[in-house]
Amino acid sequence: MSTHSLSTIKALIGQQFFIGISGLALTPDEKRFIVENNIGGVCLFGRNVSDPKQVRDLCEEIQSLRHQQADKAPLFIGIDMEGGRVHRLKPPFTSWPALRRLGDLDAPAATYAFAYSMGTELKAVGINLDFAPCVDVLTNPANTVIGDRAISEDPEKVARHASALVRGYMKAGVLTCAKHFPGHGNTLIDSHLDLPIENSTLDELNKRELKPFRSALRSRVDMVMTSHIKFPLIDPEWPVTLSKTFIQELLRKELKYTGFVITDDLGMKAMASHFGAEQIPVRALQAGAELLLYCNEPETPPMAIEALIKAYKEGTIEDGLFHRNHRKIVKFKESKLTEPNPLPLEKVLEIVGCPNHQQLAAAIAKGEMPAGVLPE
C-alpha cells in the first residue's frame, strides 16, 4: 500500500463507477454521493425519463455536479437506446424499430441514418453515451433474451451494420458501446436472473460471434461491454466480466482493443447469486474492466467502493491500477466530452421527434428504404 490518502484513492475509484438514480430528478442524497465520491457516470432508465424537458433538465443537473467534484470532469450520462424493446425514451421522442428491422432491410446507409438521427435526439437532451449497438449474432432462435435485439443470425451482416451504427452515433456526437462481449446470441438463460453457461470454443467464437465485434472495433467504438456468461471451455473458472482470459488475452491482446472495457450491471443475478458483493468489483478491475456499472440497487455502489478501498489497504489491488484507469478516463473525457451540457430547450424541441426522424423510423419499421437515404 502506498502513501496516498484514502480521499485521493476514493476519488480515483469513483471515476470508474456508473450508478443508477431513483427518479425524475436527483435526490439530495444522490447529489451528495456523486459529488463526494467523484462518480464518473450515471445510467438512465425508464424510471428517470418522462418528457424531453425533464430529461434535459435532469442531464443539466447531473452535469452541474462536476464543478463540485474532485476532477471537475464531465460525467458520462448513458442510456440503453437500441430501438424496439430496449427503448428508454418514450414519445414525443422518436419510436425506433428493433435492430432486426435494420437487418431485414439490409441497407447500411439506412442503418447509419437510424443511429445518427437517434443520436442527435440523445445529444440534444444531454445524453452523451448510448449503451449500443447490440452486436450479438442470433445463433439460437429460441433466445428470447436477445431475439429481435440482434440484427441477424448472419455474422457478416451483423458486422456490416455494427460498423454503420457505430459511425452514425459517432457522427451525432454520442459515445458508443458494443455489447455483449463476446456474444449473447446463443444463450437461453437471462443473465438478469442467473449465470448462463455456454459451451462454445474459442474457435467457434472467432468464426461467428467475434466478427461483429471486430467490425465495431475497426470503426473505433468507444466502449465494449462484457457479458455475464461463463464459457467453461475457454475459462473454466470465471464468467467473462471477471475473466482475464477474455478481457486481457482475447479483447486486448488478440483483438488489439485499446478503448474502454465496461461491465454489464454488476447487480444482476448472474453476478450477485454466484459471487460475493465485495469480490465482484475487485475481481472485475483485476480482470481488466475499467468502468463498473451499478444500475439498480442504491446500496451496492457504496459497498463496492468500500470493497475496493479495503482491497487497496490489504494490498490485493495496487493503487497503480486505480491511477491508470482514472488517468485514461479523465483524459478521454477532456477530449471527447467537450460540450457536456444539453442544448437550449427550444432547440431540443425542434430535434426530438422531428418529422424527418419519424419518417425514417416508420420506413425502416415497414422494411422500406427511407426517402432521401441513398444506398451505399
More confident residue, 4 or 186: 186
Q: Which grid cell is 93?
A: 421522442
The model's pLDDT over 230-271, given as tens digits with 9 standing for 90+, comes to: 999 999 999 999 999 999 999 999 999 999 999 999 998 889
**Given this model, what pLDDT does residue 6 score?**
86
Average pLDDT, the chain: 95
**Distance of alpha carbon 182 from alpha carbon 186, whole angstroms:** 11
Is residue 88 a part of any domain in this protein? yes
Is residue 371 a part of any domain in this protein? no
355 prior amide bond cis, ω within 30? no
Beta bridge partners of 263: 226
Is residue 6 a part of any domain in this protein? no
The model's pLDDT over 170-180, given as tens digits with 9 standing for 90+, comes to: 999 999 999 99
**Distance of alpha carbon 291 from alpha carbon 46, whole angstroms:** 22
Length of the chain: 376
DSSP-based three-state secondary structure for 104: helix
Alpha-helical regions (H) of the chain: 6-14, 28-36, 52-64, 99-105, 108-125, 155-171, 202-207, 210-218, 244, 269-272, 279-287, 300-314, 319-336, 345-351, 355-366
Q: What is the CATH number of the domain that holds 349?
A: 3.20.20.300
Catalytic residues: 192, 264
Count of the separate structural domains present in the chain: 1
| Range(s) of the domain holding residue 264 | 15-366
Task: Provide the pLDDT confidence category of residue 376 given band limits of 50, 70 and 90.
Answer: low
Is residue 376 a part of any domain in this protein? no
Is residue 280 a part of any domain in this protein? yes
pLDDT at 137 over 70: yes
The model's pLDDT over 197-219, given as tens digits with 9 standing for 90+, comes to: 999 999 999 999 999 999 999 99
Q: Rounded to 10 degrees, what is the CA torsion of 27, 32, 37, 38? A: 80
pLDDT at 131 over 90: yes
DSSP-based three-state secondary structure for 178: strand
| Amino acid of residue 361 | A
The model's pLDDT over 305-336, given as tens digits with 9 standing for 90+, comes to: 999 999 999 999 988 999 999 999 999 999 99
User: Angle of helix 210-218 relative to helix 155-171, nearest 10 degrees?
Assistant: 30
**Distance of alpha carbon 263 from alpha carbon 118, whole angstroms:** 24
Is residue 372 a part of any domain in this protein? no
Is residue 283 a part of any domain in this protein? yes
Q: 372: burial class by Cβ within 10 Å (0-12, 13-18, 19+)? A: exposed
**Given this model, what pLDDT does residue 375 score?**
77
**Given this model, what pLDDT does residue 1 score?**
44
Is residue 178 a part of any domain in this protein? yes
> Element (H or E) spanning 78, and its range?
strand 76-79
Phi, then psi, of 47 in degrees rounded to 5: -70, -15
pTM, two decimals, is 0.96
